[in-house]
Structure formats: structure tokens, C-alpha cells
Amino acid sequence: ITVYIPRDTAAVAMGAHEIAQQLAAQAQERGLDIQIVRNGSRGLLWLEPLVEVQTAAGRVAYGPVQTEDLPGLFDAGFLQGGTHKLCHGLTDAIPYLKNQERLTFARVGIIDPVSVADYQACGGFEGLSKALAMETAAIVKEVTDSGLRGRGGAAFPTGIKWNTVLNTPAQQKYIVCNADEGDSGTFSDRMLMEGDPLCLIEGMTIAGLAVGATYGYIYVRSEYPLAVQALNEAIEAARAAGWLGKNIQGSGYEFDLEVRKAAGAYICGEETALLDSLEGKRGMVRVKPPLPAIKGLFGQPTVINNVVSLASVPVILAKGGAYYQNYGMGRSRGTLAFQLTGNLQNGGLVEKAFGVTLRELLYDYGGGSASGRPLRAVQVGGPLGAYLPEHQWDVPLDYETYMKINAMVGHGGLVAFDDTVDMAHMAQYAMEFCAIESCGKCTPCRIGSTRGVETIQKIRRREDMDNHVELLRDLCDTMFSGSLCALGGMTPYPVLSALEHFPQDFGLAPQTEQ
Ligand code: NAI
Ligand code: SF4
């Protein structure tokens, strides 16, 4: 009998290691022969630790399982899929999962993350096998045709980025994966790295093949030790199976990579600061141009992409750019892994095609607030994303449509707040975040964020309101136009959206919301 217990950080934080240990011991005591597979998380985070049992009808889910539940589960015959109050029936039939469109996360939670055999049994390395037989330009074209855009948040077309690197001659080129997932409310990079690291490795190898790079680095935030462990195990397994190294599957093509641990600075998620950090320097934002695609790591042409961007490449090569392009709306093609967090009943990962609305994500998936109080605001796209009030929750999630309402989809993180939130406090928090994480290179961000905190504090104390509100708007304008990178340049989004949509929290007259 095969039992699946995740090795994912979220599940481990909820006691998955203890469950695995106890379950093995109690099965032995009862003379039952079981095999425990430590899979990734299915992304139903409110059910972690989620224990799944393989039955003839499919996997049956039980969760959240605590050690004290185990004797009862054994007595209920859970190893045969028996009924129990923690039983959710067949995992694949749970609406939260069933209604998703999982392309990039198709294998996460299903396979043993570091087993090459499991990976290949579920379509792994099909994309790379195809790429090995293709011309470099044809690989780049497939990615361009898919419409894939940078999933780190900036949404720059991946194929165009790759094409720049392909067409820049150099002795050595690099593939760098940005896994410094620092946005609040985001965990899709981590879940992918812990649940299907071979998919990222395959995506990076295809990128290397496409642009002529033979070496790659995965820059992982140090707060993700289990991701680092899973990646290192997967790299070893891929090398042993001939999918990484000098002569990949006898093709004569070479690509290898290594994991580098970051040191805990938000700004090192900015691509040029990341490159500085990889080179052993203090992470400071570089002036662009030159773009990393032309002059990147150690001055060489470098593809630098987010985890989910690179992990979306294998399915694009395996099924074709047109297949991926078929999902989505407008210029936002394919799917995005939305991350539901904050005051929600059912937090977790929902991969859906672009075009889904916040309301669907918050209620159909998230199940509404965890507190039972009405939801009031949702921050989309991390600490630099706008706060959206309820009248904007039916706007389809698409990069361009969101830009039109001064919001951003970003990396797909959602943080929900109920009606007890003080939005003036959240605006102050956004400025404080910027002040703490600023690299200090440019004045609007370094000084502006500190002055911004003070100004919002004065508004919250109702001091000289008209002047201070005007000053705050003026300051946001300066930060927006004068900052060198997104940290200073985008902090105005949460601040101004809070001010615009929730003026009463700043002591201003409420606006009539349509
Ligand atoms: P950007 O718009 O300057 O660049 C986007 C990407 O396209 C970069 O990799 C850039 O080098 C590349 N690029 C631009 N023109 C190119 C060309 N002609 N050829 C080849 N490559 C080209 O945006 P940036 O500053 O890299 O990222 C800002 C975004 O990062 C924000 O929108 C925010 O959503 C996101 N972000 C994500 C975080 C996370 O934890 N995932 C944290 C903080 C911000
Ligand atoms: Fe550094 Fe802030 Fe300027 Fe970005 S905007 S370069 S974080 S000082």
C-alpha cells in the first residue's frame, strides 16, 4: 500500500515529518506493509498535512491529519480508503483541485519530487527530448509562440528575452534562475522547487540549449532550506540519469547547474542586484542598460528568469507553443499559479488560465474570509501591488486589464483582509517596507520612503491634513518617476490605491464607489 505524505515546507510546518514517522511505526505494529512516498504539496494548504492513500479507484485524501488522529484512521481502514471524518474522498475530485488548469504544476503533489522514473512516467523530459532534436532558433520560436511572459511579475515576453541572448555572441553564456521569492503572500516558486524540482532543471536545460549556454545557477532565498535540499537531490538524480552534465542523453550537448543560497535581502530578487550577489558582491541595483541579456553574470549574456517561467517551458516544448497559447486572454497567455493567502478559509495554490476574477478566487476557491467577517481589500502582486476594493473584484486577471486600473498581477500572490483592516496603516506599512528593504542607491526611494512613513503618520494623526495628503501624492509621484528599480518605483501603488479606495481610513471623506 502506498501512502503519500508531503515533504513540502507548508506540510512540514504543520507536522508532516512526525506524521510520516508515526504512521510508519504504527503500521509496523499492526503488521501492515506500507510504502511512504514524500511527495510535494497538492496546494490545499488548509488541509496540510494531507495524507493520501493509493486505492484502486485513485488516491483518497485525509487531512489535516495530526498524530492523535492516526489510531482512529487505522481503525477506520484508511489504508483501503475507508470513511473517516478527515476523509475528503478522491483527491482529484476535490473541487479546489478539479477546477484548476494545471499545466506548470501538473506533477506537483503527484510524484516523488526527486525520482527521475516518476518524473518521466508523468511526461518529464519530453520537452527536453524534443528540444535536443531542434535548432536553437526553433526552440526560441516555440517559446515565443506560446506567449509566455515573465512570471516573476514584470511579464516581459520570455521568447524575446531568449532571442536577445541567442543573438549576442559570447564564449560563455549563463542561465540564471531567480528563486529569491520575496513577495509577501507568494509561495509558488517554493512549491514548484519542492514538489517538482526536475521540471525547473529541465526548463533551465532547454533554455541553455536554446541560447547556447552551458551553465546555470539557481539563486534560492536562504529561508527556503527544504527547496535547496530538494533541488540538490534532484540535480544529483538528473546527473546520474544522464539528463545533466557533459553529454546529455548522448546528444553531445552539455549543460550543468548549481544552487546558490541567497542571504535574505529583498532587493536581491531584483535581477541586477541578484547578479551582483551571485558574483560575490553586495547586492546593489545596476543601471540598465546594459540588459543582463547582453551583459549579465560576470559580464556575459545571461538569461535570467523566474522559477515559474522556466518551469513552464517543458510543457510548452512537449505539447507545443500553440497548446499553451490556447489558454488565457488578451496578451496574457497560458496560466498563472495564483497564491491565496491572508484572511481566507482555504488558502493555497490555484493554477488557472488568465481571465479568472478575484471574486472567483476569493470565494469559489478561497471560501471567503477565515474570520467569518466580510472581506474588504485584497492586495494583488506582492508588497508593491495595489489594494483592490470589492468593486474591482470582477475585473479579469490579465496583465493589461490590471494596468488599466493601476493595479498589477505581478507574481500572482493574493493577500486578503476583512473589514477590520486599517488601510492607512497598510499604506504606512508599504512605505516602511520600502524604507527597510531599500538598497540606498537612489534618493527618491532611500529618503522618500522614510519621509513617506512620517507623512502617513501625520495624516493618521490628522495633522494639517490637506497639505500632508498633497505632499504624500507628490512624494509618490517622485518615487514613481525617479526611482531606479521597482522597489521605489512601485511602492506608490499600494499607498495610492489605499488612499484612493479607502479615504475614510485616512480621515478623508469617503467616495461613492460604483
Ligand atoms: P523590467 O520590466 O525592467 O524587466 C523585465 C525583464 O525583461 C528583465 O529581465 C529585463 O532584463 C528584461 N528585458 C527588458 N527588455 C529586454 C530586451 N529588449 N531584451 C531582453 N530582455 C529584456 O522589470 P524588472 O525590474 O526586472 O521587474 C519588476 C517586477 O518584478 C515588478 O513588476 C514586480 O512585479 C516584480 N517583483 C517580483 C518579486 C518576486 O518576489 N517575485 C519581488 C519584487 C518585484
Ligand atoms: Fe535601490 Fe530603491 Fe533605488 Fe531600487 S529604487 S535602486 S531599491 S534605492
pLDDT digits (tens, 9 = 90+) for 276-290: 999 999 999 999 999
For 117-154, give the secondary structure using H, E and C.
HHHHHCCCCHHHHHHHCCCHHHHHHHHHHHCCECCCCC
User: 50 and 89 in contact (C-beta within 8 Å)?
Assistant: no
- C-alpha of 178 from chain center: 11
Q: How far is the CA of 153 from the centre of ligand 1 (A)?
A: 7
Query: Is the CB–ligand 2 distance for residue 267 below 6 Å?
Result: yes
What's the mean pLDDT when you consider all of the chain?
Answer: 97
User: 227 and 185 in contact (C-beta within 8 Å)?
Assistant: no
Model pLDDT, residue 514: 45
pLDDT digits (tens, 9 = 90+) for 197-226: 999 999 999 999 999 999 999 999 999 999
Task: Find, among 181, 215, 32, 200, the residue nearest to 113 by Cα.
Answer: 200
Q: Where are the domains of the chain?
A: 2-98, 116-324, 327-418, 423-506
User: 349 and 188 in contact (C-beta within 8 Å)?
Assistant: yes
Mean of pLDDT values over 335-340: 98
Residue 6 C-alpha cell reads as 508531503
Closest-lying ligand 2 atom to the alpha carbon of residue 485: 4
Residue nearest to atom 21 of ligand 1 (CA): 161
Mean of pLDDT values over 325-331: 98
Residue nearest to atom 10 of ligand 1 (CA): 291
**157: phi then psi, degrees, rounded to nearest 5:** -60, 120
The Cα angle at residue 133 between residues 324 and 243, in degrees rounded to 5: 85
Give the C-alpha separation, 47 to 371, whole Å: 17
Model confidence at 511, pLDDT cuts 50, 70, 90, reads confident
Q: Is the dihedral of CA 233, 236, 241, 242 positive or negative?
A: positive
CATH topology of domain 327-418: Ubiquitin-like (UB roll) (3.10.20)
Closest-lying ligand 1 atom to the alpha carbon of residue 411: 41
Classified as helix, coil or strand, 240 is helix
Classified as helix, coil or strand, 51 is strand
Instruction: For cell 537531490, name the residue.
Output: 233
Identify the architecture of domain 2-98 in CATH: 3-Layer(aba) Sandwich (3.40)
Q: What residues contact 351, with CB distance under 8 A and at least 6 apart?
A: 100, 101, 102, 103, 104, 105, 335, 336, 337, 338
Q: How far is the CA of 408 from the centre of ligand 1 (A)?
A: 13
User: 333 and 146 in contact (C-beta within 8 Å)?
Assistant: yes
**215: phi then psi, degrees, rounded to nearest 5:** -140, 145
Residue nearest to atom 42 of ligand 1 (CA): 183
User: Is pTM beyond 0.90 here?
Assistant: yes
Pocket test for ligand 2, best of 441, 481, 491 (most atoms within 8 A of CB): 441
Superfamily of 116-324 according to CATH:
NADH-ubiquinone oxidoreductase 51kDa subunit (3.40.50.11540)
Task: Find, among 240, 202, 210, 242, the residue nearest to 107 by Cα.
Answer: 202
The Cα angle at residue 108 between residues 55 and 59, in degrees rounded to 5: 10
Instruction: Inform me whether the pLDDT recorded for 97 exceeds 50.
Output: yes
User: Rounded to a whole number, what is the largest CA-CA distance in the chain?
Assistant: 76
Model confidence at 19, pLDDT cuts 50, 70, 90, reads very high
Model pLDDT, residue 512: 61
For 178-231, give the secondary structure using H, E and C.
EECCCCCCCCHHHHHHHHCHHHHHHHHHHHHHHHCCCEEEEEECCCCHHHHHHH
Classified as helix, coil or strand, 476 is helix
Question: How many C-alpha atoms does 340 have within 13 Å on its Cβ side?
Answer: 29
pLDDT digits (tens, 9 = 90+) for 375-420: 999 999 999 999 999 999 999 999 999 999 999 999 999 999 999 9
Count of beta carbons in the 10 Å neighbourhood of residue 58: 15
User: 44 and 50 in contact (C-beta within 8 Å)?
Assistant: yes
Q: Is 423-506 assigned to CATH 1.10.3720.10?
A: no
Model pLDDT, residue 479: 98
Q: Which ligand is nearest to the CA of 482?
A: 2
Question: How many C-alpha atoms does 232 have within 13 Å on its Cβ side?
Answer: 10
The Cα angle at residue 211 between residues 208 and 216, in degrees rounded to 5: 30
Express the helix, strand and coil content of the chain in percent, nearest 5 each.
45, 15, 40
User: 218 and 224 in contact (C-beta within 8 Å)?
Assistant: no
Strands of 51-55's sheet in order across: 35-37, 2-4, 51-55, 58-62, 87-90
Q: What residues contact 31, with CB distance under 8 A and at least 6 apart?
A: none
pLDDT digits (tens, 9 = 90+) for 233-280: 999 999 999 999 999 999 999 999 999 999 889 999 999 999 999 999
Query: Is the CB–ligand 1 distance for residue 185 below 6 Å?
Result: no
User: 442 and 488 in contact (C-beta within 8 Å)?
Assistant: yes
Q: What residues contact 17, with CB distance under 8 A and at least 6 apart?
A: none
Count of beta carbons in the 10 Å neighbourhood of residue 358: 23
Q: What residues contact 150, with CB distance under 8 A and at least 6 apart?
A: 156, 157, 158, 161, 305, 306, 309
Q: What residues contact 463, with CB distance under 8 A and at least 6 apart?
A: none
Count of beta carbons in the 10 Å neighbourhood of residue 310: 32
Q: How far is the CA of 489 from the centre of ligand 2 (A)?
A: 8
Q: What residues contact 280, with CB distance under 8 A and at least 6 apart?
A: none
Give the C-alpha separation, 459 to 399, whole Å: 32
Query: Is the CB–ligand 2 distance for residue 308 below 6 Å?
Result: no
Query: Is the CB–ligand 2 distance for residue 487 below 6 Å?
Result: yes
Same fold, 116-324 and 327-418: no
Residue nearest to atom 19 of ligand 1 (CA): 161
Which run of H or E residues covers position 90? Answer: strand 87-90
Q: How far is the CA of 57 from the centre of ligand 1 (A)?
A: 45
The Cα angle at residue 232 between residues 227 and 233, in degrees rounded to 5: 100
pLDDT digits (tens, 9 = 90+) for 50-74: 999 999 999 999 999 999 999 999 9
Q: What is the ipTM of this complex?
A: 0.96
Residue nearest to atom 3 of ligand 1 (CA): 154
Give me the percent of the chain exceeding a pLDDT of 70: 99
Classified as helix, coil or strand, 463 is coil
Model pLDDT, residue 451: 98
Q: What residues contact 21, with CB distance under 8 A and at least 6 apart?
A: none
